[in-house]
A and B are shown apart, each in its own frame.
Chain A
Amino acid sequence: AQSVAQPEDQVNVAEGNPLTVKCTYSVSGNPYLFWYVQYPNRGLQFLLKYITGDNLVKGSYGFEAEFNKSQTSFHLKKPSALVSDSALYFCAVRDIAAVGGYQKVTFGTGTKLQVIP
């Protein structure tokens, strides 16, 4: 079974400071990993994904994430936070070895990012 953990319900960071939103995962094989963002009263939007190759993945709005296989982590980062980054962030995983039409994606419980002016 695959699973995702986001250990922090909320992360507070001052505007202009670097931010990190943590994610760890568990799969039986190799993972596809995703980050989605949800702004208030909106659906989830794709930010970035890791498939294979370079462990540092760059995505939308200046976000990046680092895949660490030994620590089974995929933390989301940004060098300088903006107030407009305040939102709910979801990490998600899919086991590459999974077969069939299901291709289930498992989401974490979400981390609320609050950027303080």
Chain B
Amino acid sequence: NAGVTQTPKFQVLKTGQSMTLQCAQDMNHEYMSWYRQDPGMGLRLIHYSVGAGITDQGEVPNGYNVSRSTTEDFPLRLLSAAPSQTSVYFCASRKQGSGANVLTFGAGSRLTVL
């Protein structure tokens, strides 16, 4: 089925470890983004990309890196994990062009940093 695929679904890290959350979409969407979801805070934008080779920061980018080498993939890297990065992470994509285009979300990746 077409959509956004995130891996892994669950991950436990120790403080200081690094890891990459994977995101892939097969809908040829130009726009891809990463959000984190925390209780009482809704969804906050971490990083986004409007096409291959183009990325930019969202609201809460510190501690995270992204790259966009292909249209399909948009990995999120945690360089040195901290307990404050314990959260549920969502990748989302949409067609560019109209601001009314809706986001398609992945199923989420639950990260715990000890």
Contact = CB atoms under 8 A, between A and B. Distances in A.
Given A90-B43, A104-B45, A44 B105 contact: yes
B99 A98 contact: yes
Interface of A: 9, 32, 34, 36, 41-46, 49, 51, 90, 94, 96, 98, 101-105, 107-110
B75 interface: no
B96 A101 contact: yes
Contact of A103 (B31, B41, B43, B92): B31
B42 interface: yes
A44 B105 CA distance: 6
Interface residues on B, range: 20 to 34
B79 interface: no
Contacts of A45: 105
A44 B103 contact: yes
Nearest to A48: B102
A103 B99 contact: yes
A44 B90 CA distance: 9
B41 A109 contact: yes
A35 to B, nearest CB: 10
Contacts of A43: 4, 90, 92, 105-108
B100 interface: yes
A46 to B, nearest CB: 4
Interface in B79-108: 90, 92, 96, 99-100, 102-108
